[in-house]
Amino acid sequence: MKILHLLYESKGDYFGIGGVGIRAYEIYRRLKDRHDITLLCKKYPGAADGYKEGLKHMFVGTESKGLTKTLLSYAYHAALFTKKYGNEFDIIIEEFSPAIPTFLHFFTERPLVLQIQGYTGLKYFEKYNFFYSCILYLFERLRPLWYRNIIVVSDNTTKRYHLHERKKNIELVPNGIPKELLSYEPEESDYILYLGRIDIHHKGLDILLQAYGEFCNAVSGIRLVIAGDGRDREKFSGLTESLPGMVKKNIELKGWVDGDEKISLLKNALLVVMPSRYETQGIVALEAMALGKAVIVSDIPELSYITGNRAGLSFKTGNAVSLAQSMKDLVASNERREMGQRGRDWVSHYTWENVALKYEGFLKTVLEVGS
């Protein structure tokens, strides 16, 4: 297959890369030897067309440090690119974001697949001004109606969008883990780990800092390590600097980590925390489980598989006191290692190799039906 994938985040992106980009790289890394794959990414300062990790990258849009301008420019130029070159590809996959109104179905007759990673809903109104939130909310609800072929990462996404009621061709293709993670022996050091994008509101990092302050008043000797990058990195660094001295000295900001450093951080963590206000399936949570770590998550449906598999604890979303209590409970729990093992057993079936095969199979089915 000759595949065009509209991927709005990529490695090296000024605005950071999250689960959307990581998922694409992991899947296509396993498919690149038997398919011709082009990633159409949003332009950022310093972006250059070429190959990364064996995958062809093309960048379109306007170089800017303003996210809204960057996304709208990407939407416009990605649509133009698809209109001009779309017929050169067998199939086109679009990563869904309400902030990127491409409306590709107007610009190409090639088979289209919309990949929906998650749902934000009314949470937009907590983060943006009323006018912008209304646009995002409406686009999130309406744009999937124009696409027949849809990939979802979680069954909760299907429910959130009422997709089954609309007779769509839907395939559940979950996120995965590198299978080598299952071969590591879990250890425990003296820190709680947050690993992910530095997006304060989305990832609940303001709640995490408040909760850790509360946690420090009750438990000593446990650090908080925060690893990741993103557009809020400078603002978040300022928030940590404003914390009381005893709390601040126990927080370490690692920045972006990958490879062996990332594995080491996960493998040696006391536990992993994921305090997101809204989320997809959560690749970090899956990787933490693969390395035998108990995970604390917000009580949103997309992360309910953690508590459903007795692989960690949940807390009331957006509630720092609730999160602090869950942190204290899990640090003191005699069941923490058993939770980690249960999570590891469950996630062992979710390797990226299995995910890539399922993803590839769905694309082939779309082409067969289309022909």
Spatial contact of 60 and 78, defined as CB atoms under 8 Å apart = yes
| Contacts of 230-235 spanning 24+ positions with Cβ under 8 A | 230/15, 230/16, 230/18, 230/197, 230/198, 230/199, 231/14, 231/15, 231/16, 231/67, 231/198, 231/199, 232/198, 232/199, 232/200, 232/205, 233/198, 235/200
Q: Find the mean pLDDT for residues 310-323.
A: 97
Structure tokens given for 220:
């000593």
pLDDT 10s digits, 7-36:
999 988 888 788 899 999 999 999 999 999
Rounded distance between C-alpha atoms, residue 277 and residue 153, angstroms: 18
Closest-CA residue to 196 (of 243, 267, 126, 255): 255
- pLDDT tens sequence across 286-304: 999 999 999 999 999 999 9
CB-hemisphere CA count at 13 Å for 358? 17
Reference 99, options 68, 64, 121; nearest CA is: 68
Q: Which residues contact 260 (CB under 8 A, 6 or more apart)?
A: none
pLDDT at 261: 96
DSSP at 250: T
pTM as predicted = 0.91
Q: Domains of the chain (ranges plus CATH)?
A: 2-176+351-370 (3.40.50.2000), 179-347 (3.40.50.2000)
- Give backbone dihedrals phi and psi of 306, rounded to 5 degrees, phi first: -65, -55
pLDDT at 310 over 70: yes
Would you say how long the chain is, in residues?
371
- For tokens 């929906």, the residue is 116
On average, the pLDDT of the chain sits at: 93
pLDDT band (50, 70, 90) for residue 167: low
- ∠ Cα 156 157 160 (to 5°): 85
Phi, psi (deg, nearest 5) at residue 95 = -75, 125
**Block residue for tokens 């425990």:** 188
